[in-house]
Structure 1
Amino acid sequence: MTESEQSRIIEMAWEDRTPFEAIETLYGLSEKNVIRLMRQTLKPASFRLWRARVTGRNTKHLKLRNPDISRGYCKTQYKHR
């Protein structure tokens, strides 16, 4: 995985509306592997904050998400280059 891909996965993991399934579809990393990546790359305090933030968050799992939400991101979230 390139540094750019790793950076994007971390960014997606922090985003509230991006489900783990989207990361798996795009990068082939399961939720368990995303957690492992975050643990390895973030500082311990940042990892704990992230885990507290995503644990139980309905938008991070498609099965828990409101069926009215059909997209994984806000249309204004991506940076234009």
Structure 2
Amino acid sequence: MKIIEKYQLQSADIDRIIEMAWEDRTPFDAITAQFGLSEKEVIELMKFEMHPNNWKKWRARVQGRSTKHLAKREEEVLRFKSKQQRIISGNRMSKR
């Protein structure tokens, strides 16, 4: 797939992107900051990597969700950190 080749994504990176995309409070901007993929590219990657029924469920869940877009978030919603963030090895975001 072009996105995987373009960003030289390893299977661990793809798994993490999918996990972040499924998390309700992790915005697409966090995926962009960590991996460089735009929202459109994340959607394309999800469609390629997921079973069609699961992809439809994910798209229905994500569309219009304000927590997935920083610009649409309420002011009191701050940065979200997954409980698994500290145990993920090679996570570039946690090393800042």
Q: TM-score, normalised by structure 2?
A: 0.77
1:5 to 13, 30, 33: 13
Instruction: Give the CA deviation at 1:2.
Output: 0.4
2:69 matched to 1:61? Answer: yes
Q: Any unmatched runs of 5+ in structure 2?
A: 1-8, 89-96
Q: Whose radius of gyration is greater, 1 or 2?
A: 2
Aligned to 1:78: 85
Once the two structures are superposed, residues 3-48 of structure 1 have per-residue CA deviations (whole angstroms, 9 ceiling, x without a partner) of 0000000000000000000000000000000000000000000000
Aligned to 1:51: 59
Higher RCO structure (Cα 8 Å, ≥6 apart)? 1
Is contact 1:18-1:72 (8 Å) kept? yes
Q: What is the distance in 1 between the residues matched to 2:52 and 2:10?
A: 23
Report the secondary structure of 1:63's partner residue.
helix
2:27 to 19, 34, 40: 19
Superposition CA RMSD, Å: 1.4
Q: Any unmatched runs of 5+ in structure 1?
A: none
Q: What is the distance in 1 between the residues matched to 2:10 and 2:72?
A: 31
Query: Would you tell me which structure has more helix in proportion to its own residues?
Result: 2
Identical counterparts, % of pairs: 49
Q: How many matched pairs?
A: 80
Aligned to 2:36: 28
Instruction: Give the CA deviation at 1:68.
Output: 1.2
